[in-house]
Homo-oligomer: A and B are copies of this chain.
Amino acid sequence: MPEDNLRIVLASRPDGRPKPENFRLEHVAVPAPSEGEVLLAIRYLSLDPYMRGRISAAKSYAASTEIGEVMTGGTVGEVVESRHPDFKPGDFALSHSGWQSHAVAAGSALRKLDPKAAPLTTALGVLGMPGFTAYAGLLTIGQPKPGETVVVAAASGPVGSAVGQIARIKGARAVGIAGGPEKCAYVRENFGFDAVIDHRDPDLAAKLAAACPNGIDVYFENVGGHVWDAVFPLFNMFARIPVCGLVAQYNASGDFPGPDRLPVLMRQVLSKSLMIRGFIQREFAEAQAPTFRREMAGWIAEGSVKYKEDIVEGLPNAPEAFIGLLEGRNFGKLVVKL
């Protein structure tokens, strides 16, 4: 049996960019499972941009993490003690145990993972929540048609890379936006996007326009910020804009300086019959997740979807890795190995 549970709790709410002192490492007793539960030793923790929303006091789609509570997060755990008939020690399971080394979970809330079918980390990335966000948002809201142009930012990340590759599977052109020459080259060469633009390029707008000679039919919005201004003039009639994240503005607070872009947006929404639709992947999970896992596993097996992971070692490094994620310092799906 493990001697103690290492965990990271929210010490204080960040004002703007999170700092290391907003988080606190604690040692507490390892909990014991009740009937129907299992005790998990967490092997991998997923770090994702949505966590910034959970530690803000602002109302969002999910309840905030309270001060002193364990940071939330998707995890892969190994069963060390089981009081549920479906699990035995040594089994692996997907759970939502947060930033800690051990956790008790109801067996009914877990999905067993087969480490021989796919690397365990993929359950947190390309075969997990980020991959499903790309799949459901692109196919259900974006609905790319053959020959259309799909643009996505954070294209080297787990959502963006899947969006572009699925778009290509559906016969659309994929144009990615990423930060810096290394990521851009990777997106073009390894993920096979048709074109990639560096969002730090001062000529972003002109270069994006050149990369989209037939305009933009789907913009998968996961960053917000200045990329929007480059994308906005290029929308075609009936363009679709699934919105799953706004990482570039998560650390912002207070009023934004003018001019007011809302009336200009609404005018374009009207004159181009645009559709803007925010979503959280779990809206689609019940109906589509099994199909997604089967299709995505097939695409990975045949080589039409590739993925990249950025593995950080050790739970104490999670806060710094998370802060870096919000600034685009990760390169691929960010996972903490415990």
Contacts and interface: CB of A to CB of B under 8 A. Distances in A.
A273 B275 CA distance: 13
B278 A283 contact: no
A256 B256 contact: no
Contact of A269 (B53, B237, B266, B276): B276
Contact of A267 (B244, B246, B266): B246
Contact of A258 (B260, B271, B273): B260
Given A256-B259, A258-B259, A243 B271 contact: no
Interface string A227-271: 010000000010000011110010010011111111111111111
Interface in A183-242: 221, 224, 228, 237
A315 to B, nearest CB: 29
B263 A260 contact: no
A227 to B, nearest CB: 12
Contact of A278 (B228, B257, B271): B271
B265 A265 contact: yes
Nearest to A277: B275
A258 B276 CA distance: 22
A229 to B, nearest CB: 10
Given A243-B269, A269-B277, A273-B278, 12 more contacts: A61-B273, A243-B266, A255-B260, A256-B261, A257-B258, A257-B259, A258-B259, A262-B262, A262-B265, A273-B279, A273-B283, A275-B276
B244 A255 contact: no
Interface residues of A, number: 41
A277 B278 contact: no
Interface string A57-79: 00111000000000000000000
Given A224-B263, A260-B262, A274 B278 contact: yes
A61 B272 contact: yes
A80 interface: no
Contacts of A261: 256, 260-262
User: What 4 A-B pairs come out closest when comparing CB atoms?
Assistant: A258-B258, A269-B278, A261-B262, A255-B259
A30 interface: no
Q: Which of A256, A275, A278 has the most CB of B within 10 A?
A: A278
Contacts of A245: 270
Contact of A263 (B221, B249, B271, B278): B249
Contacts of A312: none
A280 interface: yes
A268 B60 CA distance: 8
17 contacts: A53-B271, A221-B266, A224-B263, A243-B266, A243-B269, A246-B270, A249-B263, A255-B259, A256-B262, A257-B258, A258-B258, A265-B265, A269-B278, A270-B278, A273-B279, A275-B277, A277-B277
A266 B246 contact: yes
A244 B270 contact: yes
Given A246-B266, A255-B258, A271 B224 contact: no
A261 B60 CA distance: 18
